[in-house]
Amino acid sequence: MTLLNPDADERSAELARARRRRNRALFTLLSGIIAAVVLFEGFFALRDSQAPKLVVALFAMVWGGGGMAILYLIANQLVEFTPSAWQRRLTPIVFVLPAIAFVVYFLALPAVRTFIASLFDRDGSNFVGLANYITVFTEPFMLVTFRNNVLWIVFGASFTIIFGLLVAALADRSKFENLAKAIIFMPMAISLVGAGVIWKFIYAVRDPSDVQIGLLNAIVVAFGGEPQAWIAMLQPWNNLFLIVIVVWMQTGYAMVLFSAAIKSVPTDIIEAARVDGAGEFKIFFSIIIPSIMGTVVTVSATVIIFTLKIFDVVLVMTGGQFGTDVIATQFYNQYFVNRNFGLGSAIAIVLLLTVIPVMVYNLRQFNKRETL
Amino acid sequence: MAKSKGNPFPRVFVNVTLVVICLLWLIPTLGLFVSSFRPRDEIMSSGWWTIIPHKVWVTTEQFTPDPSIDRNGVMTFEGATGTFEELRKGVESADGDKRVVWIGNKRAGTVQVQEKEWSGAPATTLQNYHDVLAGKNVTIANNQEEAARKGEDMADAFINSMAVTFPAVVIPILMAAFAAYGFAWMRFPGRKMVFALMVALLVVPLQIALVPVLTDYVHLRLNGTYMAVWLAHTGFGLPLAVFLLYNYISTLPREIMEAAIVDGASHFKIFWRLVLPLSTPALASFAIFQFLWVWNDYLVALIFIGNVPGVQVLTMRLADMVGSRGSDWHLLTAGGFVSMILPLIIFFSLQRYFVRGLTAGSVK
């Protein structure tokens, strides 16, 4: 019979293919739903779990890493069942939407929500307009805060860049390049809290009749001076003793970028200058510095952003006392200690505004590169 | 290096300056490290640098001075001359190899004669690490008595840090890789705008996000759980992750991609079989970034874990100790080192990837 009617045969085969296709699509959809439910349940299981911590962590890695992979796989297969015009539209969504959703929920949307909160009073019940912003820019304690952030940016960024350049230039000419770089680089692996402990030990002060166990005061006493409480005295210069910590941590970053940039300056230009009798200082300032200017700007922007957001060091070293508050600690104190939600939110928005120039610069750089 | 030939720049100057800077950079950490192995009493009674062998005055002889000596006038013992007040502080003999110190009060004191000797091997101990890891109350068996003293539970915090960090590194990686591929090799409306959003969010301060997210977490009962921190770090880490991976994935050779497409491979297949394996170095550098960032983070943990006991991570414990036991340097130094050991190991063993990530252009 089949031999007699090839058309019908083809049609039924096609129907069977379509049915199988539909069944597969349904099956994928079903497994997608099951996977989603299991992952969702996993969320609650992980949230409420009483199991040993490392077991929970291990399970979370499987849950997070594996779950992601399965969801992507299933979503992609579902898309492949759609007509090809739809496929072209849907595949990019499968690829980029999860990351975008996360970033929007955790960063973009909160900016809006914080801005709205900043227009309300301390417990968010009454609309007060810009009153919180007026407080931010007029209250003496806020002005001290801003002054400190300026100190952080000016001294923190400039010393980081100077030391970074110095070490990069010197290491480039030394046999101990790798060792020296590793030493300068090491503080980058340490937490700001850990660095705070390290430097608190250096600044430790005791009664003048006792032996000084803090290195700085021991040196001062050895030269006949009086021991000082470095991070409490001499306001506002006590801020410098906190800034030193971040210079110590960030110089490694600056050095690595400068070192890479210096090595990419063409050697024949330098050789030619040398043949013409230029001294090393002249070569450094009139050839090397101009050709790595782009890197200098990048490093400055990064270090400025880092110092603007500085929080841990100040909180651990002084808790913001002795006139050392910065924007980030002031935010924490106002919001979480004083429970002034409106003012805290306004401070956070001001912090956001201060980084906008760098944001714009980054976007410009990126656009420039993309059009090339 | 050809540069050095005929280099008029004094090599000695270069190396000396470099050594000085390196010492400046190394000494702070060295002080912490050395102190963490010194007994508690020694930390409090002498600077850590005294472990470097040096000459110290050691008492060789002690006697009660002749009662007939006029104690209000100038006295001389073993070639050292001084009044009572001077002798109390210690007077060196004329030739400088002996020192005489009056111990006790004027009437019934004794006199010690000291000579300079090399300081012996410094005392070392692991007790500080035991105290800082073992728990809140540590009992130590002395020879005579059993003493209880306050310790810290940093072993617990170490486990918490691991439980917080590892998932927070793993979860965002795949998500970021998919997105980076999408931005680099797919064409869809709004691609440029959405990617610009990612770049803009690179520098957004976390402070802006903490409060709204915290509000939602309270509703979801997520506060004080690991989950809270994993999800937050995933969200906060994604812009950098997407940016780093995009920089790498978008420079993969176009021919390979096109050949695969001509062969009829789907985007998913290309991504899974081709791009992901080729991107291992970039994935590694982001993983190190994220590891160091999460492990060393204090702010996010402080807000989302808060004071819930038993979940506290190392940075929180350490910061608490600075506040509550600010002069217990035997605990702080050991605790500080405990918090640094894992990131230092990872950092130095994978430094290559870390540097590559840095130079790929990070602006976090």
Whole-angstrom distance, CA of residue A318 vs CA of residue A332? 14
Name every chain B residue with its beta carbon within 8 A of the beta carbon of A207: none
Find where tokens 């110190």 sit. B101
Closest CA to B356 of B295, B296, B287, B294: B287
Measured in angstroms, the CA of B67 and the nearest CA of chain A are apart by 31
ipTM: 0.84
Residue A310 and residue A97 in contact, taking contact as beta carbons nearer than 8 Å: no
Mean pLDDT, range A137-166, rounded to an integer:
90
Q: Is residue A119 part of a domain?
A: no
pLDDT for the residue numbered A251: 92
Mean pLDDT, range A224-232, rounded to an integer:
80
* Partner residue facing B178 (CB), from A99, A316, A345: A99
Question: Does the structure show a pLDDT above 80 at A234?
Answer: no
Name every chain A residue with its beta carbon within 8 A of the beta carbon of B364: 302, 305
- Residue A191 and residue B170: Cβ atoms within 8 Å? no
- Residue B211 and residue A348: Cβ atoms within 8 Å? yes
Q: Which of B175, B315, B356 to mutate to test the interface with A (most CBs of A within 10 A)?
A: B175
Measured in angstroms, the CA of A309 and the nearest CA of chain B are apart by 7
* Partner residue facing B235 (CB), from A72, A93, A103: A103
Give the homologous superfamily in CATH for domain B154-359: MetI-like (1.10.3720.10)
Q: Which of B203, B219, B230 to mutate to test the interface with A (most CBs of A within 10 A)?
A: B203
Local confidence pLDDT in tens for the 364 residues of chain B? 444 444 555 778 888 888 999 999 999 999 888 888 888 878 887 778 877 777 777 777 777 777 777 777 777 777 777 777 777 777 777 777 777 887 777 777 788 887 777 776 777 788 888 877 876 666 655 555 556 666 677 888 888 888 888 888 888 888 999 999 999 888 888 888 888 888 888 888 888 898 899 989 888 888 888 888 888 999 999 998 998 898 888 888 888 888 887 887 888 888 888 888 888 888 988 888 899 999 999 999 988 988 887 788 899 988 888 888 777 888 888 888 999 999 999 888 888 787 777 776 544 4
Confidence category of residue A371, pLDDT binned at 50, 70, 90: low
By residue range, what is the domain housing residue A164? 131-371
pLDDT for the residue numbered B139: 61
- Residue B199 and residue A363: Cβ atoms within 8 Å? yes
* Smallest CA–CA distance from B14 into chain A, residue: A170
pLDDT for the residue numbered B6: 46
Tell me the torsion sign for CA atoms B258, B259, B263, B266: negative
- Residue B322 and residue A191: Cβ atoms within 8 Å? no
The domain ranges of chain B are 1-51, 55-118, 154-359
Q: Which residues contact A43 (CB under 8 A, 6 or more apart)?
A: B227
Bond from prior residue into B343 cis (ω within 30 degrees of 0): no
* Partner residue facing A193 (CB), from B48, B176, B298: B298
- Residue A291 and residue A194 share a domain: yes
**Which of residues A18, A50, A81 is at a domain's end?**
A81
Q: Which of B26, B191, B204 to mutate to test the interface with A (most CBs of A within 10 A)?
A: B204
Q: Is residue A31 part of a domain?
A: yes
Measured in angstroms, the CA of A53 and the nearest CA of chain B are apart by 6
Q: Is residue A113 part of a domain?
A: no
* Partner residue facing A198 (CB), from B28, B181, B194: B28
Q: How many domains does chain A have?
A: 2
Q: Which two tokens stand for residue B27?
A: 């000494």
* Partner residue facing A302 (CB), from B7, B206, B363: B363
pLDDT in tens, A318-364: 887 888 889 989 899 888 888 888 898 999 999 999 888 888 888 88
Measured in angstroms, the CA of B66 and the nearest CA of chain A are apart by 31
DSSP H helices, chain B, are: 11-36, 40-45, 84-89, 127-134, 154-185, 191-201, 207-220, 226-249, 254-262, 267-269, 276-278, 280-296, 299-304, 314-324, 329-349, 351-359
Whole-angstrom distance, CA of residue A19 vs CA of residue A12? 10
pLDDT for the residue numbered A23: 79
- Residue B315 and residue A193: Cβ atoms within 8 Å? yes
Name every chain A residue with its beta carbon within 8 A of the beta carbon of B199: 362-363, 366
Q: Does A290 touch chain B (CB under 8 A)?
A: no
- Residue A65 and residue B173: Cβ atoms within 8 Å? yes
Entry field: residues in chain A = 372
* Partner residue facing A69 (CB), from B3, B160, B174: B174
- Residue A56 and residue A143 share a domain: no
More confident residue, B87 or A161: A161
Domain with residue A360: its CATH number is: 1.10.3720.10
- Residue A362 and residue B199: Cβ atoms within 8 Å? yes
- Residue B211 and residue A110: Cβ atoms within 8 Å? yes
- Residue B173 and residue A92: Cβ atoms within 8 Å? no
* Partner residue facing A352 (CB), from B31, B205, B363: B205
pLDDT for the residue numbered B1: 40
- Residue B207 and residue A170: Cβ atoms within 8 Å? no
- Residue A316 and residue A167 share a domain: yes
pLDDT for the residue numbered A1: 47
- Residue B204 and residue A352: Cβ atoms within 8 Å? yes
Name every chain B residue with its beta carbon within 8 A of the beta carbon of A265: none
Q: Is residue A86 part of a domain?
A: no
Q: Does A336 touch chain B (CB under 8 A)?
A: yes
Whole-angstrom distance, CA of residue A316 vs CA of residue A193? 6
A·B CB contacts under 8 A: 357
* Smallest CA–CA distance from B361 into chain A, residue: A298
More confident residue, A169 or B97: A169
Q: Which region among A24-33, A50-59, A101-110, B243-252 has the lowest average model confidence (pLDDT)? A: A50-59
More confident residue, A300 or A22: A300
* Partner residue facing B236 (CB), from A106, A176, A201: A106
Closest CA to B34 of B113, B125, B95, B145: B125
* Partner residue facing B166 (CB), from A61, A186, A363: A61
Q: Which two tokens stand for residue B125?
A: 């101990």
Q: Is residue A122 part of a domain?
A: no
Q: Is residue A87 part of a domain?
A: no
- Residue B333 and residue A218: Cβ atoms within 8 Å? no
Residues 172-231 of A with CB under 8 A from B: 173-176, 179-180, 182-194, 196-202, 204, 211-215, 218
Residue A83 identity (one-letter amino acid): P
- Residue A280 and residue B9: Cβ atoms within 8 Å? yes
pLDDT in tens, B235-263: 999 998 998 898 888 888 888 888 887 88
b/e code B177-189 from CB counts within 10 Å (16+ = b): bbbbbbbbbeebe
Mean pLDDT of chain A: 84
Q: Which of B11, B25, B216 to mutate to test the interface with A (most CBs of A within 10 A)?
A: B25
